Structure 1
Amino acid sequence: MSDSYIIEVSSKPAGIVVRDKGGYRFFAASQDFTALEGRYFSSAREAERAAVRFKLGRAGSKAA
């Protein structure tokens, strides 16, 4: 099992997650995802889902 994963949303880098004793910590790769910076997730998959939800939420708020 890997200790780090690249997270992409819509084929663009969102960040990486690195495993440590607290779970998987998110490090943003672009300014679009700095709100997730430093957050811990129980799995890399959970971090990916959070990044997708975050991006969708931001896209929805721009349409309003």
Structure 2
Amino acid sequence: MSHTPSNAYIIEIHDRTAGIITRDERGFRFFSSERLFDSLEGRQFHSAREAERAARAVLSQRSRRASSQPFAN
């Protein structure tokens, strides 16, 4: 029985589905499933791990921005 690697992976960050990546001849292409991750839409990555790190960075940036904004009165 031969085992072939998957051609698509779901990227989840803290129970949020960031998107999916699909394998092509140049690596992995990201397709956003949530508005927050739209900045990664269509980006090419060398590996699934690289795409996951990019999605984590987007979420981390968003969290830092939200925590640094003062509360509205």
Whole-Å separation in 2 of the counterparts to 1:53 and 1:34: 13
Aligned match of 2:32: 28
Long gaps (5+) in structure 2: 69-73
Question: Percent identity among equivalent residues?
Answer: 47
TM-score by length of 1: 0.94
What RMSD, in angstroms, separates the aligned Cα atoms of the two structures?
A: 0.7
Q: Which has the higher strand share?
A: 1
3-state SS of 2:42 partner? coil
TM-score by length of 2: 0.83
Instruction: Report the structure number with the largest CA radius of gyration.
Output: 2
3-state SS of 2:31 partner? strand
Long gaps (5+) in structure 1: none
TM superposition outliers: structure 1 runs of 4+ over 4 Å: none
Q: 1:11 aligns with which of 12, 15, 19?
A: 15
- How far off its partner does 1:38 sit? 0.4
